Every structure is written in structure tokens, then in C-alpha cells.
Amino acid sequence: MKSEEVLSVNKKIFMTGATSGIGFQALLRLLKAGNILTILCRDRKTEERILNKVFKEIKTSQSLKNKIYTCVADLGDLKSIEECANKLLSNNIDFDIFIFNAGLQYTGSPNPLFSSQGFELTFAVNHLSHQYLLHKLLPLLDKSVAPRIVVTSSEVHNPNTPGGRIGLPAGLGQLEGLSGRCNTVMLDGISKFSADKAYKDSKLCNILFCRELVRRLKLRNTPMPVIAWAPGLVIPRTNKGFFRYSRQNNEFSQRLFALIARDLLHVTETPNNAGKLLSMVATKELYQNNGFKYYSNRLAGFGTTKTFSETCISDEALNNELSSRLWELSSELANINPELTPLVDGINI
């Protein structure tokens, strides 16, 4: 964690998932380091709350007024995302870093939730919204001399990890659930609905998205670092943050799980430390190498000792054909051009 001390400054950063949990902790550190943040807020109420909270946490609020900007967008509604993206495009704002950190989990729910366009909500928020934002806003990242994209994934994408082995494993099959040729909301087109598996599948989608993005950026002659990372099991001591929706479905089980994992076994990470990692991987020069990398905050053993290092991804996450198919089907669902158009000095070739 000590290497977090030297963060880059004056970077222009676009970030989702900055209004709570690890995202908010990263937001504070990135602002304090002197970076300029544009964050997505679900609605005006969230926008007002988060700005007040930031100014309360960082006393020099007057100097922050030109360092933090907001754009209202519901990640469960592609139309809302489009309106926000068009606003940023019309203002001709340029960025150095994209941080796609927003994540939804509603484990324990017996029934699926759906986005405004009718997609299962975990998939829509955790994956589809970010691919859509990338397509809309990539021209604003093209202007940077040192661009970077960071996506928050999870070790649960891998069935061979401790978290990935609990419950139904991640697995996308042939993505029949996205092709419209089945009656299930699950991506593999076979499994019965499981909110826990839907989350795991979305984290697998995050990594496949990153790998396919790297391939297409290379073909476009605009290579850049694309980093997926796993923060570890983060369970805050508040009713807010990542598990807030899961608690609504089974509060007793969630509290019991938190007691065992966080307070007895000490296998969890704090939002504060995970936020440090996110700010580090987003801005430190150490992570500026072009291409795909996956880093995980893993336990070195029982207790509080953890190691943040480059880690292997699952076998399914290495499937090039699957990553390409996911990209194409996601583009079709969101009604966006699946290609990253090759550019030379702003001219199509």
C-alpha cells in the first residue's frame, strides 16, 4: 500500500461508481492528489449528496469547485447514459483516464430485476453500460497523450478461486441468453435465474470486455493500458456500499456472513484500503504499460495480510472467440457500432 503515496496529478478522470464504497474512497484520494474528476451520479439527489459529502471530507471545498464535475445518468437506462454522454461530447471535455467502477449485486433475490431496456439489471449495469459509455466517450480519451482504462472486476469470475467456488460458478456458455433464442435471463441460456451467478457472470464479462477492447484498440493503432482488477471481499461496517441491495433480500444471512468473514476470519478488505488500490492502479506510472493486465488483491493467508499483484484469469476469460462474441452481441443489444473505427490524425481510414 505504501506505493500509493506517489499518485499522478492533473489527470482528467471520468469515473463511474464514485458515490459510495471503494469508489468514493478512491475519489477522495484522486482529488486530494490534484486530479480533476468527472463522476456519474444516478440522479440529482445523489449528485447533491455526494458533492456535500466530498466538501465535508475535504475541507478546502472552495478549491475543489474546479476539480470535481458531475453528470447525471442511470446506468440501468441506456437512454439516460446517452444523454449524459452527449452532454460531455458537446462540451468537448477531454479525459486521460476512464475508471469503470460501478457494480450492482442483489444476491438473495429470487426474481430478476430488469433495466429500462429489459436487460437483466446486473448485466446491464456492470457490463453493458460501460461498453456503451466506452463507445460514446472514446473520442474524448483519444486526445490524451497517456490514456488509460481501468475496470473493476472480481475474483469470483474464476470458479477456481475461493469466492468463485461458492454457489453456482461463473459461466457464459455460448451466450445464448443474449441472442434471444432462449427463455432464461441468464447469459448462458441454460441456468435458472440466480442473482449470485448473474453477478459472477458480469465480472467475467468485465474481463472479456477488457481483452477484446485491447485487441480492437491495437487494430485501430491506438494501443493503451486496459486494466481489470479485483479489490478482494469488501464488506463495510455501514448499511451503505456494495452489499446494500443484497441485505434487502436476506439481512440476517448477510450480517452473519459479514461477522464471520470480516470479524472472525479477517479475510475481507476495507473500503478505505481498496480505494487506495483503485487510485493507485488508475494513476501511477507503474501501470502505464499498453495492453491488458489483471491485478488482484489476494489473501496471502488467514488474517489481514494481502498482496496486490498481477494474477491469472480464468480459462473462460481467456477465450478469444467468447470475448469477440460478447462484444458483438452487446453492441447489437445497445444499438451501437461494434467496431472501433481506425483513425489516423482524426481521419477515417
From 24, 37, 55, 63, select the one nearest 276 (Cα to Cα).
24
The residue type of 195 is A
Cα 308 to the center of its chain, rounded Å: 18
Whole-angstrom distance, CA of residue 123 vs CA of residue 115:
9
Predicted pLDDT at 164: 87
Predicted pLDDT at 261: 46
Number of neighbouring beta carbons within 10 Å of residue 66: 8
Predicted pLDDT at 58: 83
From 148, 95, 155, 102, select the one nearest 129 (Cα to Cα).
102
Predicted pLDDT at 59: 72
Residues 6 or more apart in contact with residue 126 via CB below 8 angstroms: 102, 103, 104, 199, 202, 203, 205, 206
Q: Work out the burial of residue 218: count CB atoms within 10 Å of its CB; fewer than 13 is exposed, 13-18 middle, 19 or more buried.
A: middle
| Strands 291-299, 12-16: pairing kind | unpaired
Whole-angstrom distance, CA of residue 13 vs CA of residue 15:
6
φ and ψ of 56, to 5 deg: -75, -40
Where do the H-state alpha helices sit in the chain?
21-32, 44-57, 61-64, 78-90, 121-123, 129-141, 162-165, 176-179, 195-219, 244-249, 251-258, 271-283, 320-334
Per the CB < 8 A criterion, the answer to whether 132 and 208 are in contact is: no
The residue type of 178 is L
Whole-angstrom distance, CA of residue 20 vs CA of residue 345:
39
DSSP 73-90: --TT-HHHHHHHHHHHHH
Predicted pLDDT at 217: 96
> What are the pLDDT tens digits along the chain (349 aa)?
444 456 777 899 999 999 999 999 999 999 999 999 999 999 999 999 999 999 888 876 566 778 999 999 999 999 999 999 999 999 988 999 999 999 999 988 999 999 999 999 999 999 999 999 999 999 999 999 999 999 999 999 999 988 888 899 999 999 999 987 677 899 999 999 999 999 999 999 999 999 999 999 999 999 999 999 999 765 665 555 544 444 455 554 555 445 444 444 445 568 888 999 999 999 999 999 999 999 998 766 555 556 889 999 999 999 999 999 999 999 999 988 777 754 434 433 3
The residue type of 337 is N
Whole-angstrom distance, CA of residue 36 vs CA of residue 283:
12
Per the CB < 8 A criterion, the answer to whether 129 and 102 are in contact is: yes
C-alpha cell at 207: 474481463
Domains and CATH numbers, the chain: 9-333 (3.40.50.720)
Q: To 10 degrees, the CA torsion angle through 190, 336, 93, 80? A: -60
The helix-helix angle for 320-334 and 195-219 (nearest 10°) equals 100
Whole-angstrom distance, CA of residue 288 vs CA of residue 206:
20
Length of the chain: 349
What are the angstrom distances between the C-alpha of 55 and each of 124, 152, 188? 31, 25, 44
The residue type of 6 is V
